[in-house]
Amino acid sequence: MTVAWDEQDTGVLRLPSGRLVRGRGLRRPLPADSPAPTYGVYLLGKPPPQVPWQARWLRWPDFRLPADRAEAHAVLVEAWRRSPTERVEFACAGGRGRTGTALACLAVLDGVPPGEAVSYVRAHYDRHAVETPWQRRYVRRFGAPSDASRPEA
């Protein structure tokens, strides 16, 4: 079993259940104050750089939404399920828009009402997270009946 993130580490978000996940911008180096992730989800329009841990690329152009929403839902659910026992990281170029949107979707999976998830991530991760109106709408609709219901742990 992997040790989780330290809540004081840079970019770490505590979900209501107590799960810890990290968000960051790839333009900045890995934080020196924390260990490397064990699983990363990289939200980019092109393939991410190679990393020495397990990683998943989710095609997600800057300032946009995931190219494949069904795949995005599956990737987010998988990351949420891994988060109690692994150091899960989400990252895009700047660490705010796409990363904030993904973290807000994780908050929905963790039980935050979809209409409150953006505010939750802005309060607990980055006040500028989730940058566009369509990203906010995506989070609100993430918990809609067309999506799978909240996954079991």
Beta bridge partners of 20: 14
Distance CA 23, CA 126 (A): 9
Positions of E strands within the chain? 12-14, 20-25, 39-44, 54-59, 88-92
- Going by the DSSP 8-state scheme, the letter that residue 84 receives in this structure is T
Which tokens in the block code for residue 36?
């490397």
What is the domain range of residue 44?
Answer: 13-29+36-142
Q: pLDDT tens digits, the chain, 153 residues: what are they?
A: 567 899 999 999 999 999 999 999 999 888 887 899 999 999 999 999 899 999 999 999 998 999 999 999 999 999 999 999 999 999 999 999 999 999 999 999 999 999 999 999 999 999 999 999 999 999 999 975 544 445 555
Provide the whole-model pTM.
Answer: 0.92
Domain-embedded: residue 120? yes
User: What is the number of structural domains in the chain?
Assistant: 1
Distance CA 43, CA 93 (A): 8
Domain-embedded: residue 149? no
Domain-embedded: residue 7? no
- Going by the DSSP 8-state scheme, the letter that residue 82 receives in this structure is H
